[in-house]
Amino acid sequence: ARLVDRGVLHRVAHGYYILIPPDHVGRTWLPGLEVAAAGIASSIYGPDQIVVMGISAARMLGAVPRALATAVVAVPRQHRPIELTDRPARVRFVRRDTEALDAERVDTPLGPVLVTTPEQTVLDLAGRPELGNAEAEVRPAVETLYRSSDPARLAQLATDQRRGSALRRAESWAGHGHR
């Protein structure tokens, strides 16, 4: 409580605190939702066992411009959602084989975080567009990420993960459907 009062720690959820970056100590500071979610998930499972995915990965990859109210993180074992206390938002955990996800490290203000690649994110969004309660953002995000994706890598991931229907949906949304 003293560290929160001194502006060194930020309480993000019940039982979860984030160390405020030194250049923000003593000032009003709010971590990004996706970064906060990654921090919470990392504290539960370890930083190499979690991957920011779905609509949250799309946001971190620059394909979703507006802030969202739900962050989605892939984890090795299921966990109940966590409501944040510093804003009206929640962290949604999705049980996945995180080692099998195509992910890359992305630098954030709070340190590096594993985030699904554009190709993996396209498949995840097209496969489960309702995940993350941001359906209106999904199709534009898929269209944006599809344009920057490697088609061969996308096809290989879809084959390896048995996500052919997700790939076909993404292709049709991006205007590249098979005729």
**pLDDT tens string 145-175:** 999 999 999 999 999 999 999 999 999 999 8
Distance between CA atoms of 1 and 15, rounded to whole angstroms?
Answer: 11
Predicted confidence at residue 179, as pLDDT, reads 38
**pLDDT tens string 106-145:** 999 889 999 999 999 999 999 999 999 999 999 999 999 9
**pLDDT tens string 50-109:** 999 999 999 999 999 988 999 999 999 999 999 999 999 999 999 999 999 999 999 998
Q: Which amino acid is at 56?
A: S
Predicted confidence at residue 175, as pLDDT, reads 87
Whether this model's pTM surpasses 0.85: yes
Residues whose CB falls within 8 Å of the CB of residue 89, separated by 6 or more in sequence, listed in order: 33, 68, 69, 70, 71, 83
- Residue 86, judged by CB atoms within 10 A of its CB (0-12, 13-18, 19+), counts as middle
Predicted confidence at residue 16, as pLDDT, reads 96
* Whether the Cβ atoms of residue 75 and residue 146 lie closer than 8 Å to each other: no
Q: Tokens at residue 151, please?
A: 């088609």
Distance between CA atoms of 135 and 70, rounded to whole angstroms?
Answer: 12
**pLDDT tens string 20-57:** 988 888 788 899 999 999 999 999 999 999 999 999 99
Predicted confidence at residue 166, as pLDDT, reads 97
What single-letter DSSP state applies at residue 92?
E
**Of 104, 8, 84, 86, the residue nearest 40 (C-alpha):** 84
